[in-house]
Structure 1
Amino acid sequence: MKNFSGFIIIAFFLFSCGEEIVPKPKPYLTLQYPITSYKKIETNCPYSFEISNLAKVNFKNNCWLSIEYPELKATIYITYRKVEGNLDEILKEIEKLTFEHTIKADAIPDYRPFENSDKKVYGKLYNIEGNVATNIQFRATDSVKNVLSGALYFYAKPNYDSIVPTIKYLEKDMMHLIETLEWK
């Protein structure tokens, strides 16, 4: 019986010497986005800007609109407000809506400012990190007559880790919208 147990121990050492088994690394999703080209959107409203050719625009009769990305299952909702001596009130309201996300947000890092004195466009773009309803919001104004604000929404329950690549892709489009914004 002693020889048999010795044989098993020796067999174990002989057969255990081989290639080390290593678990496969966790795979990550690699998303490929098309290179964006832009087209100018002309409206009867007091503004115009450029949007991605991948997007569809739906106009409302009060100069509000939605920019839909069907393949990305996302929409940017644009709100227009005419300033009638209440610019500070409008800007505070927009900022309040942005910071209402602090309850669910992991962070709201500093905003990204934008200024184009020649076109009289002054804006801010906010990134809101975490599982929130809208991860990017912006506002733009001419400081006198017009305010435009926008918010990005997805048609899915927010899972920030999964949608970060899409957020970054659409952030470029939103920044391009602000950069090409012109007041009429």
Structure 2
Amino acid sequence: MINRITLILLVVLAFVACKDEVLLPKPKAQLRLEYPEGEYEKVDTKYFSFSKNSLAEVVENTENLNEGDLVLNYPLLKGSIFITHKIIKNNLQKLMIDAQKLSYEHATQADGIKPSEFYNADDRIFGMYYEVSGDAASQAQFFVTDSTTNFVTGSLYFYVKPNFDSIYPAAAYLENDIKTIMETLRWK
């Protein structure tokens, strides 16, 4: 009798255990990075002021940079925005060509470079913003000028090997910060 009960249990267990479910491979996980909404505070230099994200640490390095130049370090995002100021001395065209050339030096590694004009006539701020897509060293470049005295350039760099898919969330976040810098910049 025990053999019969065991046999019946095995048959029932076999029917219950068998399912027609097809096992599909699980999709690769998508990295989801979320950064806090930017809180902005004013930064003053000798030549201009602007608003920066409170996540950024301002570093002034007068050994390697000119007076008024600074670096905005973002430790959480492992990146920095380098800001350089130059006085225009009848060389505006050369400064603009150099800034554009710097942006297009990344073209060999980039999938694309999208330029956008920036224009604020009320505050005499004119410039260009270059969004770089792909595995380039810099994901964004910009310059602004008053066209008579001041010329400011900026570049976004990350402290990691360029891999656009991996750094895209941080790059998009910092591109918004760069646009805020351009929109809030005021000459002194």
Q: Which residue of 2 aligns with 1:53?
A: 54
Quick one: distance in 2 between partners of 1:70 and 1:32?
15
Identity fraction in percent: 40
Q: Which residue of 1 aligns with 2:87?
A: 82
**Aligned residue pairs, count:** 168
Q: Deviations over 1:112-154 (max 9, x none)?
A: 2111111101111101111111010000000111110000010
Q: Which residue of 1 aligns with 2:100?
A: 95
Quick one: distance in 1 between partners of 2:80 and 2:130?
16
Match of 1:142 among 141, 146, 170: 146
Corresponding residue SS for 1:137:
strand
Q: Which residue of 2 aligns with 1:29?
A: 31
User: Equivalent residues in 2 for 1:86-165 (5 A)?
Assistant: 86-109=91-114, 111-165=115-169
Q: Deviations over 1:90-123 (max 9, x none)?
A: 11011111111111111112x1211111110111
Corresponding residue SS for 2:167:
helix
Corresponding residue SS for 1:129:
strand
Q: Deviations over 1:55-107 (max 9, x none)?
A: 10012342111000011110000111100111001110111111111111111
TM-score (norm. length: structure 1): 0.88
Deviant stretches of 4+, over 3 Å: none
Structure 2 residue runs without a partner (length 5+): 1-16
Q: Deviations over 1:1-59 (max 9, x none)?
A: xxxxxxxxxxxxxx97611111112110111110111000012x211100000110012
Q: Which residue of 2 aligns with 1:6?
A: none
Quick one: distance in 2 between partners of 1:32 and 1:130?
21
Quick one: distance in 1 between partners of 2:106 and 2:27?
35
Corresponding residue SS for 2:155:
strand
Structure 1 residue runs without a partner (length 5+): 1-14
TM-score (norm. length: structure 2): 0.86
Q: Which residue of 1 aligns with 2:181?
A: 177
Corresponding residue SS for 2:156:
strand
**Of Structure 1 and Structure 2, which has the larger fraction of its residues in strand?**
2
TM-align CA RMSD? 1.3
Corresponding residue SS for 1:171:
helix
